[in-house]
Amino acid sequence: MSDWSPEISRLQAKSDAEWLRVEQTYCGRLLAYAQRRTGDLQTSEDIVQETLLGAVRGIADFDKTFSFEQYLFGICRNRTIDYLRRKKARTIQVSEDDEGYSGLEMLATQSETPSAIVRGRELSERARDLLGEILRDWVEETWEQGEFLRLCVIEALFAGSWRNRDTWKRFQLRDETAVAGIKFRALKRLRQLAAVRESGNDLLRFLAAAEEGNDQRILDLDVRRVWNERRASCPARHWLARHQAGTLDEGAGRFVRFHLEEMKCPWCLANADDLANDHREADLKLLIERVQGSTRRFLRSQGP
């Protein structure tokens, strides 16, 4: 199963065929994401329609530092929150890994959040982009090496902000120093990857300080936000399909289970739900036709 992504230039050129394929490819997983949060099928279908129409309207300003799927899920996330707020929900359970989606229509945060308090000391945008790239490089390298325990530990620390004590107990490591060692080696490798791509920037200084144990609070905020907004450790959809089919080896399967069941990645859970309901293609047909009608009307209204 391939992980198809559209050609952005064709979407920006208002290609009906490319937008139709987007709708056919992503409607199911967007619906699964919204339905997990609203518990209502009709509302979720409305959110999917609003999401794809919003994607059409905003595609001219698409930020290529994000994948198209991130772009869509970011819009869907915020449409879902808008719905819950309109219903005057008193408590909105926004997952911790949703933090930092400013590039994906991120809603304004409260002024007294830890992020706001340290705003002046954050990484530059260029450094954050580079950090996202090297985090993904590190994950791919670690996956190829088959070091899935290491990947679980770093995801727990970087994406989940787990404490060393909780982490070593969960993964049955020797003690907290074993966790600290895994983290130190990961930071060292990230600094090496950053140096290969670009030298003399604030990211290298940031990673060097992190290796030495300085500015831990800034490390936790920035790395956690970038890891989650760039979905650094999200397995490709075909890996999720293999997991559901039971054809992954134990190491990869262990990480995917951890990512879904304990980290509760909302994007991958939506993909997993959609894959589990792959047989309902006929049920999605009406929704796709409805979405296609609204996007086509908008595209026609914009002229040639």
> Which pLDDT score is estimated for 97?
43
Cα–Cα distance between 204 and 101 in angstroms, integer? 23
DSSP 161: -
Tens digits of residue pLDDT in 45-104:
999 999 999 999 999 999 988 899 999 999 999 999 999 888 765 454 554 444 433 333
> Which pLDDT score is estimated for 98?
47
> Which pLDDT score is estimated for 183?
92
| Region 261-269 average pLDDT | 95
Q: Which domains does the chain have, with CATH numbers?
A: 8-95+278-301 (1.10.1740), 117-230 (no CATH)
pTM for this prediction: 0.80
Tens digits of residue pLDDT in 201-241:
677 777 877 777 655 555 666 788 889 888 999 999 999 99
Given a contact cutoff of 8 angstroms between Cβ atoms, the answer to whether 274 and 28 are in contact is: yes
| Region 118-135 average pLDDT | 73
Cα–Cα distance between 256 and 233 in angstroms, integer? 10
